[in-house]
Copies of this chain bind each other. A is one copy, B any other.
């Protein structure tokens, strides 16, 4: 097979790829609620005869961080159907989003996994007429929801990578698993997939992100330095009383929350590397003249290594427990998300380099570089690496109209085609039957 001609031939997909991406952009769905998105992906895979697993087959139910209440899921499923999703597929999904296509090449060889995330952000899209999504009629139809981090592009890319790999599967080796992961925002979805075991036979793992500071034409091959992180909700419960008439009868949850917040924020000095803690939101109390019986903190801990993050996390827990005790309150904490730290494996860099060299759209190649945040792909990478597999995370350059998570965010759709060719070309390096 002539890989170069095949890559050129992929240009025929350009219109369909962009069309699919715009459809997802119009129907953004937040984590664990990607019913329309998942149903569309499954339908397209099935149309092409590609086997696909979903729901409980690829998720471990003990790790569904931040999973919404059934009532909210019901609303989203109904909306998905009303927007055109296949009602039968949604029924089969049984309340769980995400999917995994499995391409059996029929040739002996390694197990390779790709991962694409599919959820949107809790951001209301800016509807200014001159913005491209508005002008071209594909801006969000779901109030308060928006693809402001490019996962519409990731999901579309993943689908077309699947289709392209399927077309040439006879020329590849081993088995390829393409994962469509729910709930990346808030780093909630990956651990559940990792714990399900579907990655435990994987030799090669590849994932990536559009943009992230890299412009169209640039490629960062190996991304390193993901911060380990945990997302925590803490609910402090005290006892209310009238602030004027019987202040002594109350147990003040706001005071406990304030003490905990201050104490926790002192926990980030660590000579082993970067440590972070942020109480990002606080809310408490019911009225000015009532001793507050409830306060809620949304916080996150991060660390350059899992050990550092663990130290910060433990101190956050102690701070919360101690602060509650100080004021006669109790505290419940709930893990809302979690990502490990991870680095890409050098072993994959030559394959990416060779793959990229075939794509003229890639004009600047950077072998490795850092990441200023957390990504729950790191969980999947760690899981693969734990049994000896190799993993890499690429940043695929993409001009953006506004910063990630901003209401005016938009991607350069040209980067989608570049990404599609890149994945196919790199996988050819890894798995191509080159005679």
Contacts and interface: CB of A to CB of B under 8 A. Distances in A.
A186 B289 CA distance: 9
Interface string A269-309: 11110111111111111111111100100111010000010
A327 interface: yes
Nearest to A321: B325
A31 to B, nearest CB: 13
B292 A285 contact: no
Q: Which of A269, A276, A322 has the most CB of B within 10 A?
A: A269
A344 interface: no
Interface stretch (A75-83, A160-168, A253-261): A253-261
Given A244-B229, A244-B302, A326-B260, A288 B282 contact: no
Contacts of A260: 326
Contact of A322 (B292, B325, B372): B325
A266 to B, nearest CB: 4
Contact of A282 (B263, B272, B295, B315): B295
Contacts of A242: 372-373
Nearest to A243: B278
Contacts of A257: 258, 282
Main secondary structure of the interface of A (DSSP, over half): mixed
Given A245-B372, A322-B327, A373-B244, A280 B288 contact: yes
A324 B319 CA distance: 9
B292 A288 contact: no
Given A262-B258, A288-B300, A268 B268 contact: yes
A237 to B, nearest CB: 15
A323 interface: yes
Interface in A315-351: 315, 318-319, 321-328, 336
A319 B328 CA distance: 9
A248 B261 contact: no
A291 B278 contact: yes
A3 B111 CA distance: 64
Contacts of A37: none
Given A318-B325, A327-B318, A279 B265 contact: no
Given A266-B255, A299-B288, A373-B242, A322 B318 contact: no
A311 interface: yes
Contact of A245 (B252, B262, B271, B300): B271
A247 interface: yes
Nearest to A337: B288
A354 B259 CA distance: 56
Contact of A281 (B288, B302, B336): B288
Nearest to A280: B288
Interface in A17-47: none
Nearest to A261: B258
A276 B247 contact: yes
Nearest to A320: B326
Contacts of A243: 269, 276, 278, 280, 300, 302
Centre residue among A272, A287, A295 by max chain B CB count within 10 A: A287
Specify which of A186, A259, A277 lies most central, judged by the most chain B CB atoms within 10 Å of its CB. Answer: A259
18 contacts: A227-B244, A242-B373, A245-B271, A246-B271, A254-B261, A257-B282, A259-B259, A262-B263, A265-B265, A281-B287, A281-B292, A282-B295, A287-B298, A288-B299, A315-B328, A318-B328, A322-B327, A323-B326
Given A243-B302, A254-B281, 20 more contacts: A244-B278, A245-B373, A247-B276, A248-B271, A252-B265, A254-B279, A254-B280, A255-B261, A255-B263, A258-B282, A268-B269, A281-B284, A282-B292, A283-B284, A315-B328, A318-B328, A321-B326, A322-B323, A322-B326, A325-B325
